[in-house]
């Protein structure tokens, strides 16, 4: 079974490299802003009919992973 977090993609050519849902031009931060403002999953899905409930859950899983520092690693190159 695939992890929900695999629905989150990061591509420098899309939304300036911000994490997006399945390569669509809908950022994780946009969905998190709706949720933090108290919006329901049902209303978000109505506003973005191309999304699925699993996409919203993937945003939450991604946010948890980032705050746990268990997902993103950084490579620093000296100039």
Q: Return the beta strands (E) in 1-79 as ranges.
A: 8-9, 20-21
CA distances from 63 to 21, 28, 31, 52 (A): 13, 8, 11, 17
**23 dihedral zone (left: phi>0; alpha: psi -120 to 50; beta):** left
Per-residue pLDDT at 76: 59
With both helix axes pointing from N to C terminus, report the angle between 53-68 and 28-36 in degrees, rounded to the nearest 10.
90
pLDDT tens-digit readout, 29-69: 999 999 999 999 999 999 999 999 999 999 999 999 888 87
In angstroms, the CA 3 to CA 15 distance is 23
């Amino acid at each position: 079974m695939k992890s929900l977090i695999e629905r989150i993609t990061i591509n420098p050519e899309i939304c300036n490299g911000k994490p997006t849902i399945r390569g669509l031009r809908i950022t994780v931060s946009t969905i998190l802003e709706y949720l933090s403002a108290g919006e329901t999953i049902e209303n978000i899905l109505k506003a973005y009919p191309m999304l699925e409930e699993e996409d919203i859950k993937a945003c939450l899983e991604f946010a948890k992973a980032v705050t746990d520092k268990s997902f993103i690693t950084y490579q620093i190159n000296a100039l």
